[in-house]
A and B are shown apart, each in its own frame.
Chain A
Amino acid sequence: MVLKINNISKQFGGITALSNVSFSITEGEILGLIGPNGAGKTTMFNMITSVLAPTSGDISFYDEQISGLKSHQITTKGICRTFQNIRLFPEMTVIENVMTGSHCRTKSGVWKSVFRTKSQKQEEKEIYDKAKQLLETVNLLKERETLGKNLAYGQQRRLEIARALASEPKLLLLDEPAAGMNEQETVELHRLITKIRDMGITILLIEHDMPLVMKTCDRIVVLNFGKKIAEGEPKAIQSNPEVIKAYLGTEGDDDIA
């Protein structure tokens, strides 16, 4: 079991964002996390990465408790994420962005950096080469000296994925990677996500683009108003009446409206 979410609840004041949600992810799987806006998907990401602390419940990663750790410790354990509203380092070049992603896998401190010791030079070369390789994977190698902020939108999304991969995650959390992408880019994204899975990385994917979700995910968890309403294979989810109700509403709802 890569990740086990156990009875997680989160309250913001009087509002319950998530209540008693449990699910787990197995090794090598692409799990989709879907639900209408405000269902609590990003809140879930924020709790997995310790940006927020759950009100109750716990999260374990490879059978180890991770709730209560700091964000950077979670990344060091092997969970890395991308953001719904892209958060690159805008004034860094593309390759520097990716090299920064390697931070938790490298060790050189102030003195090693200043004296340029052999091990530091070696380390810098390694992460530079690795960054180049990752940029090749996301098809951004040519743009490596461009500033992050000068990339096109779709490229920024791909760069964010490359930066996350540089931290050598075992579990990658993708928060709406297809948002704002055109059809062609979405097709490429699908290919990229499966390629990452083939690298041996487990993926948890939040996405609104249903064709992409159905095509990419092995399993899907559906949230609505902070509760898990369904879990299963894409086909089963597509025909699940609860899910259809959550997304499209029912005739009863129409009457009220």
Chain B
Amino acid sequence: MLGELINPYYLQVASFILINIILGLSIYVTLASGQLSLGSAGFMAVGAYTTALLTTNFEVPLLVGILAGVMLAGIFGIIVGIPSLRLRGVFLAIATLGFGEIVRVFIVNTESLTKGAIGISGIPQLGREILDKLEVIGFDPEILGLKANQFTFLIVFILLLIIVIVLVCFFSRQKNSRVGRAFSAINMDEQAAASMGINVTYYKVLSFTQGAMLAGLAGALYAHVLSYISPADFTYHKAVEILTFSVFGGSEVVGGAIFGATFLTLLPETLRAISEYRYMIYGILLVVMMAYRPQGVIDEQMMRWFKRRKGRRQQHGTENK
């Protein structure tokens, strides 16, 4: 019964949506403190290649490989983030774009290590690995009425969904806290933020590094979902695509990245015919958004409106907090 409902293709698309949400979040976090980074494709490559090389060459467990990818992306985030403190707006975007290209060119040219432009194949697949572990303890997907490959797609989807839910909770809570207020204060007026006692350097590097780690995580997961990566996955186009998720969906709120990534991943899948013109559509979308709704489809005002409605409904029930 369950077996008929589960279509690997849909699950695959859903998994990509979830990975793209993580990428959208990485832009959101960096933008929260007013920094426009186009380095996400580069950080993604760092995460993906770290785990791919560790797991294929040294048979390191997946979890360790992924964590190593995230950490290394974070370290690169700090290294790029500190000198970038002097840069603002477009200049920061160009510098981070440069970083992304350096990473890509480095990967292409160190063939002995990364196999260059050919890419790395045979990366352990997340779903497969989990199934293998479960089979050792005597689990059989047949119990759920699923074929092995249906189960692997399903388990990957569930795992990614859990990761995304955890991350969304993490960043929504961070936003409504002392740290989140510091980020938005810096975003709105750096000098005023400093004179309110906010350590601007610390929070800017923090937000940049969080963004880098998220992109690294997305890259590492991408490698283990697809089991094949090549430098072509992490080009300049990817950086712009990631930026579009957040800018289209709304860069002020966590929900914006979710909406943007979901909508823009589904669009080329549902409308096969336009898939080839994807980047053209992204370009048009960006121009139109910048002109008419620079804050993105979902903005703070919209969230506040929802909150107020919710608040009003709650007030009918209970009094005061």
Contacts and interface: CB of A to CB of B under 8 A. Distances in A.
A80 B196 contact: yes
Given A108-B177, A110-B174, A91 B197 contact: no
Interface residues of B, number: 26
B180 A113 contact: yes
Given A92-B188, A116-B173, A108 B178 contact: yes
A83 B184 contact: no
B195 interface: yes
Interface stretch (A98-106, A196-204, A233-241): A98-106
A114 B182 contact: no
A54 to B, nearest CB: 17
B174 A113 contact: yes
Contacts, number: 95
Interface in B177-195: 177-182, 184-185, 188-189, 191-195
A172 to B, nearest CB: 12
Interface stretch (B16-24, B54-62, B75-83, B198-206): B198-206
B195 A113 contact: no
A114 to B, nearest CB: 5
A103 B195 contact: no
B305 interface: no
A113 B179 contact: yes
A71 interface: yes
B140 interface: no
A89 B197 contact: no
Interface string A113-131: 1101000100110000000
B101 interface: no
A114 B178 contact: no
Contacts of A96: 181
B174 A72 contact: no
B120 to A, nearest CB: 33
A112 to B, nearest CB: 8
B277 interface: no
A90 interface: yes
A49 B197 CA distance: 11
B233 interface: no
B197 A103 contact: yes
Given A103-B178, A104-B197, A113-B173, 5 more contacts: A89-B189, A91-B300, A103-B198, A123-B178, A164-B196
The 8 closest A-B pairs by CB, nearest first: A104-B197, A113-B177, A75-B197, A87-B192, A71-B194, A89-B188, A100-B181, A72-B199
29 contacts: A70-B194, A71-B191, A71-B195, A72-B194, A72-B199, A75-B196, A75-B197, A80-B195, A83-B192, A88-B192, A89-B184, A89-B192, A91-B300, A92-B181, A92-B188, A96-B181, A99-B181, A100-B182, A103-B178, A103-B181, A103-B198, A104-B196, A104-B198, A110-B174, A110-B206, A113-B174, A113-B177, A114-B174, A114-B177
